[in-house]
Amino acid sequence: MRILKLIFKNAFRHKLRTFLTVLGVTIAILAFGLLRTVISAWYTGVEASSASRLVTRNSVSLIFPLPVSYKEKIRQIEGVKTVSFGNWFGGIYIDEKNFFANYAVEPRTYLQLYPEFVIPEGQRGAFFRDRKSAVAGYKLAAKYGWKIGDMITLKGTIFPGDWDFVLRSIYKGRDETVDETAFFFHWEYLNETLKQKAPGRADQVGFYMIGVTDPNLAADVAAEIDKTFKNSIAETLTETEKSFQLGFISMSEAIVVAVQLVSFVIIIIIMAVVANTMAMTARERIGEYAVFKTLGFGSFYISALIFGESMFVTTIGAAIGIVLTFPAAEIFSKQLSTYFPVFNVATETIYMDILASFLVASAAAIFPAWRAVNIRIADGLRRIG
């Protein structure tokens, strides 16, 4: 107990220095935690993807459509359980800055494939019945103050014109990894309108979503789908939902790597700051360590004093940093919901925070402890007075 008391008292000998070091660690851990959360948020789509879902798109590019007639052929392939399809709509709500993902989908099969979108039964039925209806995620509805029954108009970019929808349903995510900022409506509404206004673009879909009977069959089913449409007018590329999402992320991989690098650089900088504090501390107290050694205290005790103090100061900063990460992430989440629909601090991020603070504290104490342990007592005592 005495050693803990001594560590505690030593840590507050230079209150300003300790305060500034704690502040530095707090900011570093907060920044580290937020950057790690940004990286997690980047991969949220991948994490949320299911192993039993496949995505089929035009093999040339995602922007080229596929005929809606492929649906029945895909359904007949062995191992296929559900086939849904849709188009990226790319509509704008009032202003371009109000970006959110919006799709035209085949509602029944789409919701079968996505049981993680939890919709009250009454609202589900209302959505199915009304072809001009739409579903919005809980966060999206909250952001724009939408309520059930509200009329929402999206300005089409890919499909020009003003598109009116009646909000019939608001979904919630089954867990916190589910994106609650999406907006989707009946593909039939889109297709019927296109038949009237741009018949050449009708009866085409941007992607197929396919549910397989067994995740172990996913690779075989994907190969079979692509084989079926080989040498057709629109060849397909089928991959798991996870690969599909990773494909998007790979386009921005350089940014993810840069964010990762910055997060580690922050830890290295704070390591230098804490090491500097501990080096100053040990240099000032070298005479005291000599006294401890004179009294018979061994290397373990001297090291424990220095490591303990480094650990104590870093832990206070890290704890405050971790606690602050949650409200900070909440603010980020609200401000950047357009870019990061899911911005939750993962448990792994907290573990990484703790590990980082432990490494910082240990690395910062190594040299001062080595110096204090190895200094000759007579030399140490000479520094006093």
Does 10 participate in binding another protein (rule CB under 8 A)?
yes
Does 232 participate in binding another protein (rule CB under 8 A)?
no
* Min separation Cβ 17 and another protein, Å: 15
Half-sphere exposure of 261 (CA within 13 A, CB side): 6
Q: What is the 3-state secondary structure (H, E, C) of the chain?
A: CHHHHHHHHHHCCCHHHHHHHHHHHHHHHHHHHHHHHHHHHHCHHHHHCCCCEEEEEECCCCCCCEECCHHHHHHCCCCEEEEEEEEECCCECCCCCCCCCEEEECHHHHHHHCCCEECCHHHHHHHHHCCCEEEEEHHHHHHHCCCCCCEEEEEECCCCEEEEEEEEEEEEECCCCCCCCCEEEEHHHHHHHHHHHCHHHCCEECEEEEEECCHHHHHHHHHHHHHHCCCCCCCEEEEEHHHHHHHHHHHCHHHHHHHHHHHHHHHHHHHHHHHHHHHHHHHHCHHHHHHHHHCCCCHHHHHHHHHHHHHHHHHHHHHHHHHHHHHHHHHHHHHCCCCCCCCCCCHHHHHHHHHHHHHHHHHHHHHHHHHHHHCCHHHHHHCCC
Q: What are phi and psi of 116, to 5 degrees?
A: -70, -15
Does 298 participate in binding another protein (rule CB under 8 A)?
yes
Using CB under 8 A, pick the residue from 115, 149, 296, 327 that binds another protein: 296
Give whichever of 154 and 302 is closer to another protein, judged by the CB atom.
302
Q: What's the distance, Cα to Cα, between the start and end of the chain in Å?
A: 29
Using CB under 8 A, pick the residue from 4, 13, 125, 232 that binds another protein: 13
Number of residues engaging another protein in binding (CB under 8 A): 22
Does 17 participate in binding another protein (rule CB under 8 A)?
no
* Min separation Cβ 285 and another protein, Å: 9
Give whichever of 61 and 374 is closer to another protein, judged by the CB atom.
374
Amino acid letter for position 311: M
Contact segment (CB under 8 A) with another protein among 14-22, 180-188, 213-221, 377-385 equals 377-385
Using CB under 8 A, pick the residue from 97, 115, 295, 374 that binds another protein: 295
Give whichever of 92 and 291 is closer to another protein, judged by the CB atom.
291
Contact segment (CB under 8 A) with another protein among 57-65, 142-150, 322-330, 372-380 equals 372-380
* Min separation Cβ 1 and another protein, Å: 9
Does 202 participate in binding another protein (rule CB under 8 A)?
no
Using CB under 8 A, pick the residue from 36, 53, 168, 293 that binds another protein: 293
Give whichever of 155 and 383 is closer to another protein, judged by the CB atom.
383
CA dihedral 79→80→82→84, nearest 10 degrees, is 160
Beta bridge partners of 88: 103
Does 376 participate in binding another protein (rule CB under 8 A)?
yes
Does 372 participate in binding another protein (rule CB under 8 A)?
no
Using CB under 8 A, pick the residue from 9, 75, 230, 334 that binds another protein: 9
Does 16 participate in binding another protein (rule CB under 8 A)?
no
Instruction: Please answer whether residues 340 and 333 qualify as being in contact, where contact means their C-beta atoms are separated by less than 8 angstroms.
Output: yes
Contact segment (CB under 8 A) with another protein among 46-54, 69-77, 172-180, 376-384 equals 376-384
Give whichever of 60 and 377 is closer to another protein, judged by the CB atom.
377
* Min separation Cβ 384 and another protein, Å: 5
Does 370 participate in binding another protein (rule CB under 8 A)?
no
Does 378 participate in binding another protein (rule CB under 8 A)?
yes
* Min separation Cβ 143 and another protein, Å: 53
Give whichever of 9 and 195 is closer to another protein, judged by the CB atom.
9
Rg of the chain on CA atoms, in Å? 29
Using CB under 8 A, pick the residue from 81, 247, 287, 354 that binds another protein: 287
Does 6 participate in binding another protein (rule CB under 8 A)?
yes
Distance separating alpha carbons of residues 322 and 156, to the nearest angstrom:
43
Q: Which residues bind another protein (CB under 8 A)?
A: 2, 5-6, 9-10, 13, 287-288, 291-298, 376-378, 381, 384-385
